[in-house]
Chains A and B, each alone.
Chain A
């Protein structure tokens, strides 16, 4: 079975450009999570969705970041305008079931983003 699919795997762009990261969750999963990982701050949750609806976006660093989930099989994380401090590895994860079921999260391989 296909896992969580993220694209692109690597992105290098100049400061000020718009960046769009994409994620396809595991089919049938109803929760989707976006994380960011840096050496300084470790792995941080940015936002998560349930049934395509954003539930908690308290981890989104600022208004330059936005995330959407137009349908159950696709989500995007957009940064506009991008800044060098946004350089990080961005992970998408999905899971099946509610917190009451305590199902594990399945992570993609991440997008390594470098802003020059």
Chain B
């Protein structure tokens, strides 16, 4: 199974943009890139996903490198409620349908 690598922790000031990186150098051609986040004492929450093109939704943007070996989750204006652990996950489109969660990036937002 393809794996992802993320920094253990990051800090951001409130109302500033945050760029959360993820490396996935062994990604296969049909793996989707998913991002989830987990707030304290809650289950993971879907944020965004993409395959090749950059994606935007109401929560965030996903920028995918041209070679797909890395991606970046962009929170345009961080708020205190965005403090969470962010997971980058590869989801295969063949074989077994399962996520492999890494250790994620713990985002701290400073007021």
Interface residues of A (CB under 8 A from B): 4, 31, 33, 42-45, 48, 50, 55-56, 91, 93, 98-100, 102, 104-110
A104-B46, A104-B49, A107-B43 given as contacts; is B101 within 8 A of A43 (CB)?
Answer: yes
CB distance from A37 to the nearest CB of B (A): 9
Is B32 within 8 A of A107, CB to CB?
no
State the total of A-B contacts with C-beta under 8 angstroms: 53
**Interface residues of chain A: helix, strand, loop or mixed (majority):** strand
Q: How large is the interface on B (under 10, 10 to 19, 20 to 34, 35 or more residues)?
A: 20 to 34
Q: Could you list which residues of chain B lie within 8 angstroms of chain A, going by C-beta atoms? A: 32, 34, 41-46, 49, 87, 91-94, 96-104
Using CB atoms, name the residue of chain B closest to A100.
B93
Q: How far is the CA of A64 from the CA of B103 in the complex (A)?
A: 27
A45-B98, A104-B34, A105-B99 known; A99+B46 contact, CB < 8 A = no
Supplied contacts A44-B101, A55-B97, A93-B43, 6 more A-B pairs, CB within 8 Å: A42-B104, A50-B97, A100-B93, A107-B45, A109-B42, A109-B43
